[in-house]
A and B are shown apart, each in its own frame.
Chain A
Amino acid sequence: MKKYVSFFQLRFAMGIQYRTAALAGIVTQFAWGGMLIMIFRAFYQTDAASFPMSLSATASYIWLQQAFLAFFSVWMMDNEIFDSIVNGNIAYELCRPVNIYNMWFAKSMATRSASAILRCFPVLAVAAFIPHPYGIDAPASPLHFFLFVLSLIMGLAVTVAFTLLIYVLAFFTISPQGLRMVFISCVEFFSGAVIPLPFFPDKIRSFMELLPFASMQNVALRVYSASMSAEEMKQAILLQVFWLAAIAAAGKLLCRFAEKRIVVQGG
């Protein structure tokens, strides 16, 4: 366990160095969030009755989504890992007395946390000063805030476990690009990154909410502004625990299987 904690710390320290990149990212995310809110405002002005959640809850959802983008955007994957699998450098990692699945898990968690921590506070701070329906509101209650933090971390873990599944699958195909793109588009769509899940028609939505993708950003961002009932929240968080366990178990099994049959071709 100790070595994985140090992996986390090392990566975190590395990630926190990229401050200019973070600044540019903040500007981008801020513009992005603003534009998204303007779209939703236009729909709200046209037909407020069809809106599935309040406008201010939607605005909070969007600002949180932008602030914690690094937690949940699956397209930010570690190219180093893909490269090492393709060019064979992975052999060095396999010689070490570490479990590569756990190591990758620790490293990915660290990269995403570092990147999010650099970006989230400025975005949230500015969003807090934007007037009411368009800015970010205070959390609905201390309990909601606590559940928000809990489901945020769970969502991060589910996302990381999912990306790890893609890394492991790269062992079985030489060019992981295609796989990666299909997975990325699925996750973006089903997790509520394109439009929040409440905006989908009810029938499709109730199915989508059971998928592992809904356990990524969807839960935390909706818990924050209390746009889920107590019962729904309980179910959603339990589902997060379930998917984390299921995906991580599948990833570990697959990883062990891959390690057994892996052939590194000289060089």
Chain B
Amino acid sequence: MKTIKLYMHYVSINVRCMMQYKTSFLLTTIGQFLISFNVFLGILFMFERFSNVEGFTYSEVLLCYAVILLEFSLAEMIARGFDTFSGMVKNGEFDRILVRPQNEIIQVLGTKFELTRIGRTLQAVVMFVYGILKSDVVWTASKICTVLFMLIGGTAVFMALFFIYAALCFFTLDGLEFMNVFTDGAREFGKYPIGIYGKKMLLFTTFIIPYALVQYYPLLYILDKRTAMVYMFLPLAACWFFIPAVLLWRFGVRCYQSSGS
């Protein structure tokens, strides 16, 4: 309870801080909106030419992209501190955190709360509503629950990835850009249902990095392509991905030697 209160305090500091520069905040938000808008336009024009892709129609793909984008922007909003963690290790900021009598994860999370990601979130919500209106999904209580589970599970997966990225900073600061493949890449390519990428990709995203659990399978359930109840709960199962992330982080903290600056 106390940690939650502390975290909320961090968030409020961050938000107030950002509100001191309102123009900059607004412009960055608009920029975030524009960049993901491009991806949306890309999908739109692809479907001007093609009526469907492997059986998924335009509105179904939009639903899929909206959910992934929403998950990603929520995770980025919360876990931006992990994303910029390399800087903290480099300038010795992390040492200061370690000497404080508080959980270090909460403190790192608290260093940054990116409210500007609201631009992307907004876009995702608009697209989601548009997708719902255009598609002929019959919404039932279980499907609404599935969407909620997708949001929880997906945000957890992306947060865990940011977490792993931060944990890797304990070992090396060089060349970690390849992690973008798993975060930005997943957002970018998660716009299409993972099934279209073929069997191998589906296996990889089911068992190694569980994107498919939060995207493809529950989507099949929502679109009535599968009816088994288990598809509804798969997104929650994806939270297991936090386990290796936390273990790696723990291991990293134990090995941590200050950069000395």
* Residues of A that sit less than 8 Å from B by CB: 20-21, 23-25, 27-28, 31-32, 35, 38-39, 42-43, 45-47, 50, 52, 175, 177-178, 181-182, 184-185, 188-189, 194-195, 199-201, 204
> Is B175 in contact with A24, judged by CB distance below 8 angstroms?
yes
Q: Which chain B residues border A23 with CB–CB below 8 Å?
A: 175
Q: Which chain A residues border B50 with CB–CB below 8 Å?
A: 43, 46-47, 50
Q: Chain B 186-218 against A: per-residue CB contact (8 Å), 1 yes, 0 no?
A: 001100100011100100000000000000000
> Is A181 in contact with B192, judged by CB distance below 8 angstroms?
no
Contact A20-B174, Cβ < 8 Å, known A177-B31, A201-B49: yes
Chain B positions 92-124 with a Cβ under 8 Å from a chain A Cβ: none
Contact A178-B31, Cβ < 8 Å, known A20-B175, A185-B38: yes
- The distance from the CB of B34 to the nearest CB of chain A, in whole angstroms, is 4
A-B contact list, 8 entries, CB within 8 Å: A31-B178, A32-B188, A42-B53, A46-B50, A47-B51, A50-B50, A175-B23, A177-B31
> Is A28 in contact with B197, judged by CB distance below 8 angstroms?
no
Contact A42-B54, Cβ < 8 Å, known A35-B189, A201-B48: yes
> Is A43 in contact with B176, judged by CB distance below 8 angstroms?
no
Q: Which chain B residues border A204 with CB–CB below 8 Å?
A: 45
Name the contact of A31 in the complex, choosing from B46, B176, B185 (C-beta under 8 A): B185
> Is A38 in contact with B197, judged by CB distance below 8 angstroms?
yes
> Is A46 in contact with B54, judged by CB distance below 8 angstroms?
yes
Q: Which chain B residues border A200 with CB–CB below 8 Å?
A: 45, 48
**CA A50 to CA B188, docked complex, whole Å:** 24
Tell me the nearest residue of chain A to B182, going by C-beta: A31
> Is B53 in contact with A199, judged by CB distance below 8 angstroms?
no
Q: Name which of B30, B178, B201 has the most chain A CB atoms within 10 A of its CB.
A: B178
Name the contact of A178 in the complex, choosing from B27, B39, B185 (C-beta under 8 A): B27
